[in-house]
Structure 1
Amino acid sequence: MRTAILASGRGSNLQALIKAYQSGSLPIRIVAVGSDSPGAGALMRAEEAGIPSRVFSINQYLHRQAQEADILNWMGENEVELLLLAGYMRVLSPSFMREVPFPILNIHPSLLPAFPGLHAQRQALEYGVKVSGCTVHFVDEGLDSGPIILQEAVPVLHEDTEESLSQRILAVEHRLYPEAVRLLALGQVKRSGRRVQILQQEELR
């Protein structure tokens, strides 16, 4: 699957995806990386991997719709079949979602539907939960509300800070996101409404 990735920050999940892609464990081809931040570390990671990148800084556009139209054109030019959000900090508009005919995936640092949005790890600590984790999900028109593909729990320790919990969750993210992408690309992800089933290889025959 020809895959584009959008990222806003340092790009550690992007790096995990690139590493899995370069090792041959992902049946995808990462054809482009985009960012809404000119200084994003993700852009440097793409350059080091030899993947073409492009900046869609919101300051370059008169309005959000123009930015999203540019992203849509960019994906069309690259014949994209799968879009992955890897720390992309902008919510895609409903009109954008309606224009995209292929899957969009995201990873979020909580066990959704708990603690959507920003600072999920801080939300978990403030609420006092004993278990948090991360979720790979399809992106829909809501905020971190799409059908769930994979989840993995991470215990919340009494001495945890937002930083320490974030780091432990991130280590799981780096493993879980490539696995979800692999399953999707192999046709093992079956979606029916909000329910997602992971098929075994023998069920595909």
Structure 2
Amino acid sequence: MAEACRIGLLNAQIVGVAIDRSLPLAARLADLGIPCYLVDHQASESRAAFDQGLAEALSGSQADLTFLTFNRLIGPDVLAACRRRILNLHMALLPLFPGFGALRAALRSGMRVAGVTIHVVDDTVDGGAIIAQGICPIYPGDTEALLGRRLFETALPLVMQCVRWSASADLIITSDGLPIWKRDNLQMGPRHFPGVDADITAFSDEFCNQLP
């Protein structure tokens, strides 16, 4: 994402990243000049204290849009701090398999396809308005690791596309957490719904092909 912003593929700027534990990612963010906020969930006295600390970190960034990619419930302080303009990446085709353990549930279900969902975050568990979804196959013998890698490759271009929609105001998330589309000609892709622009797809494919 940072590279996509740097080369101008996305007309956006990452103004901060919040993490809930010490990660090597922090050093990489420092090299890129991106603020990193550590809100240690283990050091927090309670879930409410963690939520308050995360809210303070996010409100300080003054971001127009916040993306969640970690498996933790957030509370009212974070929702208020981000003016409810929060999107979450969930590794399942909602409304199927909400909550934790979505990959395991998909593998056990007998389904032939799995998917990812980007949705607005509200005070429910993965129940906010769905913005976009993507699908990928489930192969015989798949493990959580194999399916997880395929889902990541499915999710990356969709996340980038949502950032582009937001930056261009084609997609607006209101302070009430409601999505408003400014376009009525969204195309549906073979794997992503709505579809992903060709330049984002090419960038994402190249990035994923370089991963070990």
Identity of aligned residues (%): 29
User: 1:199 aligns to what?
Assistant: 183
User: Is contact 2:21–2:40 with CA below 8 Å preserved after alignment?
Assistant: yes
Query: Alignment RMSD, CA only?
Result: 2.5
3-state SS, counterpart of residue 153 of structure 1? strand
1:175 to 157, 168, 187: 157
User: Is contact 1:147–1:196 with CA below 8 Å preserved after alignment?
Assistant: no
2:112 to 110, 130, 141: 130
Give the distance between the partners of 1:66 and 1:19, measured in 2 at CA.
33
Higher strand share goes to which structure? 1
Q: Which runs of 5+ in 2 are unaligned?
A: 187-212
The range that moved more, 136-145 or 193-202, is: 193-202
2:10 to 26, 50, 57: 26
Matches within 5 A, 1:1-205: 17-38=1-22, 40-86=23-69, 88-189=70-171, 197=181, 199=183
Cα deviation for residue 136 of structure 1 reads 1.1
**Residue type of the partner of 2:65?**
L
3-state SS, counterpart of residue 29 of structure 1? coil
3-state SS, counterpart of residue 79 of structure 2? helix
Distance of aligned partners of 1:177 and 1:33 in 2 relative to their CA distance in 1, 3 Å threshold: same
When the two structures are aligned, how many residues end up with a matched partner?
A: 184
Q: Which runs of 5+ in 1 are unaligned?
A: 1-16
* TM-score normalised to structure 2 length: 0.76
Cα deviation for residue 138 of structure 1 reads 1.0
User: 1:13 aligns to what?
Assistant: none
Distance of aligned partners of 1:183 and 1:126 in 2 relative to their CA distance in 1, 3 Å threshold: same
User: Is contact 2:52–2:77 with CA below 8 Å preserved after alignment?
Assistant: no
Q: Deviations over 1:89-136 (max 9, x none)?
A: 211013432443151011111111111222312111101111111111
Give the distance between the partners of 2:24 and 2:78, measured in 1 at CA.
25
User: 2:206 aligns to what?
Assistant: none
Cα deviation for residue 19 of structure 1 reads 2.4
Cα deviation for residue 162 of structure 1 reads 1.8
User: Is contact 2:58–2:81 with CA below 8 Å preserved after alignment?
Assistant: no
Distance of aligned partners of 1:59 and 1:95 in 2 relative to their CA distance in 1, 3 Å threshold: same
Give the distance between the partners of 1:107 and 1:21, measured in 2 at CA.
19
Give the distance between the partners of 1:191 and 1:81, measured in 2 at CA.
9
Give the distance between the partners of 2:185 and 2:46, measured in 1 at CA.
45
